[in-house]
Structure 1
Amino acid sequence: MERAAQTLAAVVLAGTVAGCAFVIRATGMEWALAQNASQAVVHTVAGVALIRSREGRRIGLVLLSMGTAAALGVLLWGYAAGHWPGWSAAEWVSGWIWAFFFVPFFTVLPALFPDGRPVTPRWRPVVWAGLLVTVLAAVGRPWDLIAVAVIVAALVSIASLVVRWIRSGPVARRQITYLLYAAGYVLLIEIAGGLLPHHARQAAILLIPIAPTVAIALAVLRHRLYGIDLVIRRTFVYLAVTGLMFSGYLAAVALLGTALSRAVSPQVALVAAAVVAALTESGRRVLQHRMSGLLYGYRDRPLDALAELRRQLGDAATAEDIARRAAPLVADALRSPGVAVALLTDGLPEETSRSGEPGPDPVEVPLVAQGERLGTLVVGRRARREPYGEKDLRLIAELGHHIAAALAAARLTAELDRARQQAIHSAARERLRLRQDLHDGLGPLLSGAGLGLDGVRRGLGPGSREERDLRLIGDQVRMAAREVRRIIDAMQPGPVADLGLVSAVREHVERCAALDVECTLTVSGVVEPPPAVAEAAYLVVLEAVANVLRHAGARTCAVSLRHEEGSLRVEVHDDGRGIGPGYVAGVGISSMRRRVTSIGGRFAITADHGTTVTAVFPLELP
């Protein structure tokens, strides 16, 4: 059936073009010709597309039959206009065949949409009544009674569509709503069309039979009506676009022909028609470019795909973030039903991100950087009739290469950060150990040696050579002890090493409370952090409180230390004038940020009824 429908569609389109040429040659362009030809093209291509789906076959047959009738009407009109042999019979048929491509749109199609069956068996007579009034409209006598019958049949058919909408689920309701919108447009034009200028009214009438087809297209594209696979959906859109462009061209030629036929010479009218054709061709190219992007993604624009990938991954900091952003981008770029990114963890693949459902037998591209496999890009295949071509596969390979490069860079950055944090924590632990060893070992030894030398020196006679030598040695020992003390104090903030972080911060806050600013401390669930964290947190509190005292003009300053899910959160808030937007970070702020981020923490400054400095430190060692 599909091949027969395609053959019939080709004949219908050829007949439409031939009929238009015959009519234009004999009588010139008319609105009626534009309307009939548009119906022939749009209905035919829509019907062929829907016939390819089992669920949409009945609706497709209705549309194809109406498009065939419209094309036959145009062809017979052109034949009769040329007064060729048998032209009177052709004119007689073209006078009533319009009913078969116009009336069913309002009497039959609403009763069958969207599944090709009446809403219930009780509504089946509505379909037969629609076919009957179509035949009666072709007969045309008595026309007044037939017109009433057509209107009644159309209203009942639309009523069945409303009943179907009430009984349907949310997805089917959205599908049916588009056709109800089309029916509303028809009623609006029928009621208020007389208020429009002649050409505007004719253009609006031209869209009346096309509106339901556009409604079906929206239902297909937005809600996957009939389960149409990708190739059918693309065929439908491309053919519908072709029909609409052809209809627009005919409408423009009809409008200009009517307006210019009496005012200018035939040569000028010919030039105007050529200009319209050129503009239509330009519009077709732009529309085709847009539709190519809609249907095939970035297949024909690989550089745009890579640029979009670079933009999306520009600020991605981790491999998981890169995978999360890359999956939907690749799916959109290739119009794939689903894409997944699996990263290697301890040599085993683990799916990190997924967009859609890749389905069976996907395309798998290894993510390799510098000879090392980092993961796999899994791209779901499209419909059987729309496999990935050479351009698609090259684009997939290029996207995979750039994703792998981004993953490698993120991994290297993470390893460097982890190494830096380990070095900082190791240095902090080593400084603490040396401080304790110097404080508890070498310092007391030097002090004891100095005291022993003083005792020996006092046992000697004053002014003797031995006494002078021992005094000199004692002074040097005491100088060494002071140097050890200086080294101890420089290794780590003394209060932190001696008292611990919480006590050291509390001592500092109590000293500041004696000043004009009321300082308070809140502690919640804080355990003693690693030395590097304690040192950095203490110095951040000192710098932030110093900034409050020097610059904020605040009455209160609140310091808080809280333990939150494996991290230490330090906040210093004041009610001063605020730091203001677009501030330039000075040495103090830069130093705080550097201390926090160097051990994997997060640092932020916000201004809301004052200034809040926030530092979050990880408590788990890397």
Structure 2
Amino acid sequence: MAAGLTGSRNRRGLAGALAALVVVEVVFAVAYGVSIGWGWQQLVDNFVVTNGLMGLTFGLCGAVIAWHRPANPIGWLFLADGIGHATTPFADALAHVVHGHVAQRVLVTISLAAWPWSIALFLPLALLLFPDGRLLSPRWRWAALGIIVTAPLFVLEMAGSGDPISPGVPRALLRIRHYDSLQPLWTATEARNIVAILIALVCLAIRYRRADEVGRRQLLWLLLASVIAVLFVTPWAFVAGTPILVLLAIPLIPISVAVAIVRYQLLDIRLVVSRALTWALLSLVAIGIYAALVALLDSLIASQVGRSAAVTVLVALIIAPVLPRLQQLVDRALYGDRNNPARVASRVGEQLSAGLPGVVTAIRTALRLPYVGLTANGEVIASGSPSSGAVVAVELSYGGDVVGVLEVGVRSGESGLSAADRSVLGLVAVPLAAAVHATRLSAELQASREKLVSAREEERRRLRRDLHDGLGPTLTGVAFSADAAANLISTDTPRAVELLARLRADTRAAISDVRRLVDDLRPPALDELGLVGALRQRADQMSYRADGSAIRVSIVADGLPTLPAALEVAAYRIATEALTNVVRHSDATSAVLTLRYTTKLEIEIADDGPPTAAWRPGVGLQAMQERAAELGGTFHAGPTSRGGLVQAHFPLSPRQDDVVAGAQAPLEVR
């Protein structure tokens, strides 16, 4: 590890030294030009301004990249690029200072051959390796190899004439005979440079399509700068008379690369691209309209009227309504449909039937968000790619309750969601909350169904076990005893009488088992006495505890109608279990069981036992709660200041109301 730290420090030191070399070269060239009286135009014509600025930007940006990412070759390529650009004005200025014809010719050769390597080799390779320093795939090695092999052609073109950059010094050592006759080769070389840059741009475009959100933010910086640089530099390479200052667009590339690699979250590059593309498209439209109108109106408008002014006014009037439309198109490409909430809501609605993961994907795609996730009850229901930035939580409310949270990743360069984003998310939150609520209800319903099926199967298993292990052997013994008694009644009467006595006992045992099974299915007292009568009978049986102490149990249930069978059983089981708990576990002297019927059935068991700590859930309390939940009711049990209290409420469905009303209605006698 110590060796790694030492190597990293050494590379950082080398990057700093090379950047200092670039600065020294540029400062020397500028200082010499100013000292001998060169004005601005001479500094521009002698490439001091353009090469000096490109040398500084490539060198310093390369040093920043190499300092923070020493393993990334892009920083070192940019340092080499900066040295190449800076060496050209430095060597040219130094040729004026030194004495000796040969030394001057060597320096002129260096000044001519230094900067072409930057354009032909270092810059295209850096673009091919952006942003991680590796080629897109092994197949792109041929592109890199082609750039390396053909790079010397541009050096020969720029240095082959031997003409010095500035007057007053001899020609270079490297001179190609019949240089002018090779003009087709030099034109092909210029085209080769453009092709090399275009190949790099194609590679960047492919990387953009395959990249994640972070990679796309990095690539947008470089794509924007590269497109601008190509648009400016291409006329300079092919159109004579193009101002040399168009080369000042090239420094945008190292600046954008340094920001993309080291500080890609500096600001929202999508906003920059949006505005830049808008004005670029607008400029192209303006130029096209201007050219068309000039050609059309040239023969119609007299020169004394002011043709150019009229055309300019017409162009301005035509372009004015175009700008908002262009801005909308570009914003939609980069920010999605956030300015069109109805479209987003429509896309979300289309995905609701496909499930919540499809809805999350639709929101993320529609708004071009880096991350969208959906959580409910602490569980992640659906989510996209992991977010590396800030996340804003949007609550999903249904019926006044928060049913879920929509987690939205914030775009790079933004401190939070914009008003347009919040407006769209607020619109889609309503149907999404309903979908989450419906999904939760569906899951609860499915769980309830599975629980009911499981309970039914357990009950069937218990009945089968009781019949097989209890009643079955008893009836088998009865049959065997009956056969034996029949066979012995004529030969061994006393033995037959003994078998008949045993047969009678076994029969009574079987009858007891049948009654027990029947009682477990539905208490017979409900059919014989009704709910209130069965509860009164049960209360009488609980008047005394096991230790002989008395407890007074009273029933209040005036005007209670006949209830559905399932509700009767649930009410009976809850009431008897609650009374049993009072008798077994409390020190109460009295208990009151109250049954009320209004719009729902209310069951309340209150005792006058002393206050206690909170009740711990046991089998009895859990059974009562489950019986209430099975019929859509609510259950509450616990101590109060006046004693223990158990409450259960059962809502009555319309069908149950009809049953109760029918039971209350008097019979019509005809």
Length-normalised TM-score, structure 2: 0.36
Higher relative contact order (CA 8 A, sep 6+): 1
Task: Please identify the structure whose Cα radius of gyration is greater.
Answer: 2
